[in-house]
Structure 1
Amino acid sequence: MFQFFEKKRYLVDQLENFVDIHNHILPGIDDGAADLDASVELVRAFGELGVHRFIATPHILQPLYPNTRKTIHEAHDQLMDALMDQRMNQVAVEPAAEHMVDDSFEELLESGGYLKFRKGYLLVEMSFLQPPLNFDRCIVEIAKRGLTPILAHPERYQFLHQKRGKYRKYAEQGILMQLNMLSLGNYYGPEVQKVAYELLESDLINFLGSDVHNLRQLDAVKEITLRPKHLVKLETAIQHTIGSFY
């Protein structure tokens, strides 16, 4: 009877010392921060929420964002130099990538052109509309290299919404899952939000990330509130993220 009156809490109030492992803060190399000024402003805005540590994950997506280790490291170095100039010495940014699993992904793996997280995690995504035909094979190839796949924003893949059992099968394959903060609100729509909470309540979410591309999205994150029962589940993912990458 009293659950209706439960006081919701703001997501951002839980983010002190958080490590954001999925974002698009590097300047000018994908659909994230358009230039260096936008990049610095985005990092500064995160800092106001208590977030100072990032693993930057620009897209590697052919042919739209044909990033390489070189382009990503160059953008990372530009950002770090700018942050030093601004005396934002408390900010730590590690370069990595969000890898699209598509026809070119196996070649990328073979060439060693991927950018992993520390401890051998590899952030991957796929088309929102249909799974790549080589997905299972790519997961096997990732594991062969001693890497652990983290599937970005599993709640956003529309083709999985009618096949919810697939999420459990992915977990059984050793695929870890990273929830987007924005999915906890209505930013991507009610169906994505519903699936996000279902995955959270089913203990299928391992990590939390922002996937923020711009200040508008970060402002949307600031508006997200959660019920206490959801916050308990989310806190587990938050602490696992911090513990793994701080």
Structure 2
Amino acid sequence: MPDQSARGPGRPRVLSREERRAIIVEAAEALFLTRGYGETSMLDIAHASGMSKRTVYEMFETKEVLFSAMVLAQHSFAPSFAPPLPGGSAAGDLAAVLTRMGDFVLAPTQLAVIRIVIAESAKVPELARAYYEQGVARAQAVLAESIAVLAKRHGLAVDDPLETANFLFGAVFCETLLLSLVGCAEALPEGVLAKGVLAGRIERVLAVMGPGLGIGGAGSLNGRSAGAPGSSGSASG
């Protein structure tokens, strides 16, 4: 795509700054994932995006800044992890949020980005910092926010939503994420990466942790929690 900001009279509609940024980030992501971070130059990204090298540097002063912008774009996911609408059980609502998180975290693109960070962080520590700040910390905050909403809705015993989010994330995803990152997904129990990601594991984790959170009948993910307010059929708020 030609750099439309440099065209003369009669040029098509000039792209806005945000549109050009998005095109550059998309091109960078494709190159980082196929060639690797270290093997990709800003000139490569300029060519792939159809922008001039000057335009790329005007938008992103370094390749590290561009990588950070790519991670941020990937993790603009807050609406995707919002708790379900009221009416379900505490266990069912938590399972829904964790399932959405798993679908994102275990997606091939996310695994590829994490591998890049691991491979390059010794040489470029800024990558690890950018990934943590724009990716991991944001994911933790979004999950914690959802848990806080569900704690209020269902009267759960959650003193620290962020700590609870980290416990749940580690218990549900840690083994699968690690094995997937090192290319040993075949060692996972059969069906763990099938559609409906980790449903069985999520149910088992909630069955174990549920009582401590004040969830009755944690194993029932489709109906209301046993003993929860409104379990006789009335919808909770």
- TM-score, normalising length: structure 1: 0.27
* Higher CA-based Rg: 2
More helix by proportion, 1 or 2? 2
More strand by proportion, 1 or 2? 1
- TM-score, normalising length: structure 2: 0.28
